[in-house]
Chain A
Amino acid sequence: MTEELIFMTSNTENTGNVTPLLHQIRHALSQLIERQEDTTIDLRRLPLSAGEESQLEAFLGHGEVKADIQALGDTVLIESRFTGVWLETHYNEEAEIMGKYVHICRCPPLIKSQPEDMVLSLNQIVSEIQSLSHTSTDDTAKED
């Protein structure tokens, strides 16, 4: 079945996959509301013509939130005009698209601060405050 779909991914005509995809998003959103269940759809693995991808993006539109993340190339996260439906695009340093996903969730995982990074940040802030205190102590000693 999968191979049939892949074979039919010709740009000569649309695949007809946009409407089923929108229904999948609709279903995932209802699951999020009822069961707090997150869903991620990897657009790179779906047979969509270039025109259909634009059609999907136009349908989703832009909502209230847009986030840019700089992590070895940009990542752009846009909440669509449908609250809880996010479009995430990963770019590399050459602005080439590395991945494109639709997240149906309250907040995409990549936006959240990561515990591992927070631990490092805590160490860093402690260290910087300490060096700040040392500097101000040194300055006071010089004034004396």
Chain B
Amino acid sequence: MSLPTLNKQLQASGISRRTFLKFCATTASLLALPQSAVAELANALGNAKRPSVIWLPFQECTGCTEAILRSHAPTLESLIFDHISLDYQHTIMAAAGEQAEEARRAAMQEHKGQYLLLVDGSVPMGNPGYSTISGMSNVDMLRESAKDAAGIIAIGTCASFGGIPKANPNPTGAVAVSDIITDKPIVNISGCPPLPIAITAVLVHYLTFKRFPDLDALQRPLAFFGETIHDRCYRRPFFEQRKFAKSFDDEGAKKGWCLFELGCKGPETFNACATVKWNQGTSFPIESGHPCLGCSEPDFWDKGSFYQALFPWERYKSKPGKGGQQHAGKHS
């Protein structure tokens, strides 16, 4: 079957070339590409064939799917989500059971070696029966679907690192996608939930350059995970001035001071929430008065209290963070 290019699809939808160029310019900026690459991006992306995508939801809460489905609509990002051929996602597809599985296998066969595999949720290894789809264990379905995939995008912290299902005592023996599949390119877009724009940007990069973008030591796209929340936090000046809220209702909290002493994990959390934000760009957790929980980091649920300071302020000041490099050294 011949799949239409994005250009054809945009024309059919009445989306102007100018709108598409605007999308390319903002996406290039998000991916830290030079603006001189916008024309190349527009040409390559516009002529890219509609990709087949198989999306496997495993041990998850559907929060990742919700975050994407409820992102701003209609948006520039939706240009890409509308463009992909989502051939399987059993949470949202009309078909169910064996009928849905037939659709998955048909897409795998038809687009062998070319389809992208998206996974959200962790994979239970303790007992395959903890999570099954149409009688098939998650691990079997993952191995079967990954075999002929061009690449895998692990969406959310559960698929990326095991997430909440893996939290102590990990009753299901939950593991990440990359613990099982080791012979395919994998991108982790962690977060609980992840930023939808990060998923769009990775798809755009893949469609344009036929490969995933540069990744950090945890296989996350550097364009979104190269800096900590703290690096770009608007409350950072108060951290530097050592002005901290000590409780959620004290004067410091009312004045919008730094939430570090209330347990903010921003200094050790790599994600773009502080710049991209949530809910149509309204805010992000710190802006709403709550410390960052560090949800895009491995084992965030087991790192001690959410409400205890990470370390003494003086220690941080003596060893300032250096974005992704500090992280790479820590986890590689």
The smallest beta-carbon distance between B267 and chain A, in angstroms, is: 12
With an 8 A cutoff between CB atoms, is B236 at the interface?
yes
A40 with B36: CB separation less than 8 A = yes
B17 with A116: CB separation less than 8 A = yes
A117 to B7, CA, bound (A): 11
B7 with A75: CB separation less than 8 A = no
A92 to B123, CA, bound (A): 37
B26 with A99: CB separation less than 8 A = yes
A128 to B137, CA, bound (A): 57
* Cβ proximity bits A1-28 to B, threshold 8 Å, 1 near / 0 not: 0011011011110000000000000000
Residue in contact with B241 in the complex, picked from A12, A42, A93, A101, CB distance below 8 Å: A12
* Cβ proximity bits B36-63 to A, threshold 8 Å, 1 near / 0 not: 1000000000000000000000000000
With an 8 A cutoff between CB atoms, is B134 at the interface?
no
Which size bracket describes the interface of B in this complex? 35 or more
With an 8 A cutoff between CB atoms, is B112 at the interface?
no
Beyond A40-B35, A72-B74, whether A96 also contacts B281 by CB under 8 A is: yes
* Cβ proximity bits B290-325 to A, threshold 8 Å, 1 near / 0 not: 000000000000000000000000000000111111
Q: Nearest chain-B residue to A99 (Cβ)?
A: B26
Q: Nearest chain-B residue to A116 (Cβ)?
A: B17
With an 8 A cutoff between CB atoms, is B72 at the interface?
yes
Q: Nearest chain-A residue to B321 (Cβ)?
A: A7
A71 with B280: CB separation less than 8 A = no
Q: Nearest chain-B residue to A120 (Cβ)?
A: B11
| Residues of A contacting B32 in the complex (Cβ-Cβ under 8 angstroms) | 45
With an 8 A cutoff between CB atoms, is A114 at the interface?
yes
The smallest beta-carbon distance between A29 and chain B, in angstroms, is: 17
A11 with B322: CB separation less than 8 A = no
| Residues of B contacting A93 in the complex (Cβ-Cβ under 8 angstroms) | 72, 74-75
Beyond A6-B323, A72-B75, whether A11 also contacts B237 by CB under 8 A is: yes
A residues 70-107 near B (Cβ < 8 Å) are: 71-73, 75, 90, 92-94, 96, 98-99, 101
| Residues of B contacting A7 in the complex (Cβ-Cβ under 8 angstroms) | 231, 320-323
With an 8 A cutoff between CB atoms, is B29 at the interface?
yes
Residue in contact with A117 in the complex, picked from B18, B232, B325, CB distance below 8 Å: B18
A3 with B281: CB separation less than 8 A = no
| Residues of A contacting B19 in the complex (Cβ-Cβ under 8 angstroms) | 71-72
With an 8 A cutoff between CB atoms, is B247 at the interface?
no
Residue in contact with A11 in the complex, picked from B21, B35, B236, CB distance below 8 Å: B236
A94 with B72: CB separation less than 8 A = yes
A42 with B29: CB separation less than 8 A = yes
A90 with B281: CB separation less than 8 A = no
A110 to B26, CA, bound (A): 13
Beyond A72-B19, A109-B21, whether A42 also contacts B35 by CB under 8 A is: yes
With an 8 A cutoff between CB atoms, is B202 at the interface?
no
A110 with B18: CB separation less than 8 A = yes
| Residues of A contacting B17 in the complex (Cβ-Cβ under 8 angstroms) | 114-117
A12 with B236: CB separation less than 8 A = yes
With an 8 A cutoff between CB atoms, is A44 at the interface?
yes
**Chain A interface residues toward B at CB < 8 A:** 3-4, 6-7, 9-12, 40-42, 44-45, 69, 71-73, 75, 90, 92-94, 96, 98-99, 101, 109-110, 114-117, 120
Q: Which 8 A-B pairs have the closest CB atoms?
A: A96-B281, A114-B17, A40-B35, A71-B19, A12-B237, A116-B17, A94-B280, A99-B26
Given pairs A72-B15, A90-B25, A93-B74, 10 additional interface contacts (CB within 8 A): A7-B231, A7-B321, A7-B323, A11-B234, A44-B29, A90-B22, A90-B26, A109-B21, A110-B25, A115-B17
